[in-house]
């Protein structure tokens, strides 16, 4: 029985920052951001959006009357949680009108959380093929104004349903993972911006990729030649390129050309959205499906990395390419409707954080279906405006 990604949805707010303009404001050569980092634009998150609203907008694309009653579990991967105790999955469950007979939980291990969700869901659906699992990766990536990490910010959500007889990607059984207690990137409870040892985190990322990729190959007997494409967690798109370059010498010239072309396809959307943390790998998968010339049965490798650190390499085969066309249309429409902010507007938006007391927010400028309208009696207030 095949189990895998049946549906996939994406949401990010519709305001963005042009990184050429940010480079000019920060006194950097724009090519450092565009080529050296591999990012051209970055989503800016308004105060009326958080991981719950973004996840709801993404998940509403994959939850329909056909599968709502089949959902047995919600696994919400995030490192931008809104409560130290209550899971974001519980708020999401209510906004999506999911049944009460389900498990709803939030998981955290930096950018790795959604991959834990996918693998746990795969095991669950194999044992319960009539059920489905909703997996979320939603985050807001914040490093701070005038920091080296500023160019690698962003945010948004990806939602996937994991089901038997999937429509998009049938997951292989094999997977290889590794975890080690490392301080490359972290965010203490009292901070809204991450702390990072930038160059060290890049090196650990590549080390983890090589370790799990080679372990996967050893266990399965597969080689790089078995993959039509390798996709990566993309905190910024040059990071994935560094991972790819570290194994390219293992491929023939023809394979290298194909893997490089498909890597380009897999970073088209990430370049313009920025870092989604938990959702980044899955946005990259969507970008690949929408922009590459792939055939049914092609094997795709996925490398997930969460600082701190946990890495996993797994794979799946493409079921059919029709959903890719729908994804392309959706992304074209999304990028077309976005509004560009000036650097000053971005800075003011970045500084505008939710207060720690009751507040009523003005949601007029937010065009999302799900919005945060404020805080009342220390409880976040969410509205579905459909």
Residues serving a catalytic function are 79, 111, 233
Pairing of strands 132-141, 359-360: unpaired
In angstroms, the CA 228 to CA 262 distance is 8
| Rg (the chain; Cα; Å) | 20
Asked if 244 interacts with ligand CAA (CB under 6 A), we say no
**For ligand CAA, which stretch binds (CB under 6 A), given 28-36, 125-133, 290-298, 374-382?**
28-36
Contacts to ligand CAA from residues 349-378, by CB under 6 A? none
**For ligand CAA, which stretch binds (CB under 6 A), given 31-39, 65-73, 207-215, 257-265?**
31-39
Q: Which residues pair with 134 in a beta bridge?
A: 74, 161
Among 24, 35, 339, 367, binds ligand CAA (CB under 6 A): 35
**For ligand CAA, which stretch binds (CB under 6 A), given 97-105, 125-133, 192-200, 207-215?**
192-200
Confirm or deny that 143 is annotated as ligand binding: yes
For ligand CAA, which is the closer residue by CB, 180 or 362? 180
x-or-dash string of contact with ligand CAA, 62-101, rule CB under 6 A: ----------------------------------------
> In Å, what is the CA distance from 169 to each residue of 5, 71, 209?
5, 18, 21
Q: Which residue has the tokens 């709803």?
A: 104
- Determine the angle formed by the axes of helices 237-245 and 253-266, rounding to 10 degrees: 170
Contacts to ligand CAA from residues 298-327, by CB under 6 A? 305, 307
In angstroms, the CA 228 to CA 279 distance is 22
Among 10, 16, 116, 185, binds ligand CAA (CB under 6 A): 185
Q: At 349, list the tokens.
A: 């938006």
Asked if 151 interacts with ligand CAA (CB under 6 A), we say yes
x-or-dash string of contact with ligand CAA, 111-150, rule CB under 6 A: x------------------------------------xx-
Q: Are 89 and 148 in contact (CB under 8 A)?
A: no
Asked if 226 interacts with ligand CAA (CB under 6 A), we say no
| Helix intervals (H) in the chain | 19-25, 30-31, 51-59, 88-95, 113-127, 198-220, 237-245, 253-266, 268-273, 280-291, 322-337, 343-351
**Within 10 A of 254 (CB to CB), how many other CB atoms are there?**
9
Confirm or deny that 65 is annotated as ligand binding: no
Asked if 29 interacts with ligand CAA (CB under 6 A), we say yes
Asked if 209 interacts with ligand CAA (CB under 6 A), we say no
Q: How far is the CB of 243 from ligand CAA (least distance, A)?
A: 10
In angstroms, the CA 59 to CA 63 distance is 6
Q: How far is the CB of 344 from ligand CAA (least distance, A)?
A: 22
Q: Are 295 and 139 in contact (CB under 8 A)?
A: no
Confirm or deny that 346 is annotated as ligand binding: no
**Within 10 A of 238 (CB to CB), how many other CB atoms are there?**
18
**Phi, psi for 101 (deg, rounded to 5):** -85, 55
Neighbour-count burial for 321-336, b at 16+ CB within 10 Å, e otherwise: bebbeebbeebeebee
Q: How far is the CB of 111 from ligand CAA (least distance, A)?
A: 4
Confirm or deny that 275 is annotated as ligand binding: yes
The residue number whose beta carbon is nearest to ligand CAA equals 36
Coil, helix or strand at residue 290: helix
Q: How many residues does the chain have?
A: 386
Among 152, 262, 284, 287, binds ligand CAA (CB under 6 A): 152
Among 277, 282, 313, 314, binds ligand CAA (CB under 6 A): 277
Residues at the interface with ligand CAA (CB under 6 A): 29, 31-32, 35-37, 110-111, 148-149, 151-152, 184-185, 196, 198-199, 201-202, 205, 233, 235-236, 239, 275, 277, 305, 307
Q: Can you say which residues are annotated as belonging to the binding site for (3S)-3-hydroxy-3-methylglutaryl-CoA?
A: 29, 143, 242, 275
């Amino acid at each position: 029985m095949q189990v895998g990604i049946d549906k996939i949805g994406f949401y990010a707010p519709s305001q963005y920052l042009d990184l050429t303009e940010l480079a000019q404001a920060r006194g950097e050569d724009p090519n450092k951001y565009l080529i050296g980092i591999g990012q051209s634009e970055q989503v800016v998150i308004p105060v009326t959006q958080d991981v719950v609203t973004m996840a709801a907008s993404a998940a509403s694309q994959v939850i329909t009357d056909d599968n709502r009653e089949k959902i047995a579990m919600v696994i919400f991967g995030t490192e931008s949680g809104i409560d130290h105790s209550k899971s974001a999955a519980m708020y999401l469950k209510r906004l999506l009108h999911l049944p009460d007979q389900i498990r709803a939980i939030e998981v955290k291990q930096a950018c790795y959380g959604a991959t834990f969700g996918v693998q746990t869901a795969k095991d669950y659906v194999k044992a319960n093929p009539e059920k489905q699992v909703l997996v979320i990766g939603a985050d807001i990536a914040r490093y701070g104004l005038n920091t080296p990490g500023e160019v690698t910010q962003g945010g948004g959500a990806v939602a996937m349903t994991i089901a038997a007889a999937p429509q998009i990607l049938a997951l292989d059984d094999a997977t290889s993972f590794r975890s080690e207690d490392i301080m490359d990137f972290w965010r203490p409870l009292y901070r809204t911006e991450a702390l990072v040892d930038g160059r060290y985190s890049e090196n650990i990322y590549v080390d983890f990729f090589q370790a799990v990729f080679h372990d996967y190959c050893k266990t399965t007997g597969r080689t790089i030649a078995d993959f039509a494409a390798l996709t990566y967690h993309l905190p910024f798109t040059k990071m994935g390129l560094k991972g790819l370059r570290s194994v390219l010498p293992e491929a023939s010239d023809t394979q290298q050309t194909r893997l490089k072309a498909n890597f380009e396809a897999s970073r088209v959307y990430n370049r313009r959205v920025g870092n989604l943390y938990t959702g980044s790998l899955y946005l990259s998968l969507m970008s690949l499906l929408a922009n590459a010339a792939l055939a049914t049965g092609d094997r795709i490798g996925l490398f997930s990395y969460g600082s701190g650190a946990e890495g996993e390499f797994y794979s799946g085969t493409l079921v059919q390419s029709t959903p890719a066309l729908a994804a392309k249309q959706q992304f074209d429409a999304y990028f077309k409707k976005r509004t560009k902010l000036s650097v000053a507007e971005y800075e003011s938006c970045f500084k505008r954080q939710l207060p720690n007391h009751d507040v009523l927010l003005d949601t007029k400028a937010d065009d999302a279906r799900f919005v945060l309208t404020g805080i009342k009696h220390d409880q976040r207030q969410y509205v579905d405006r459909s």
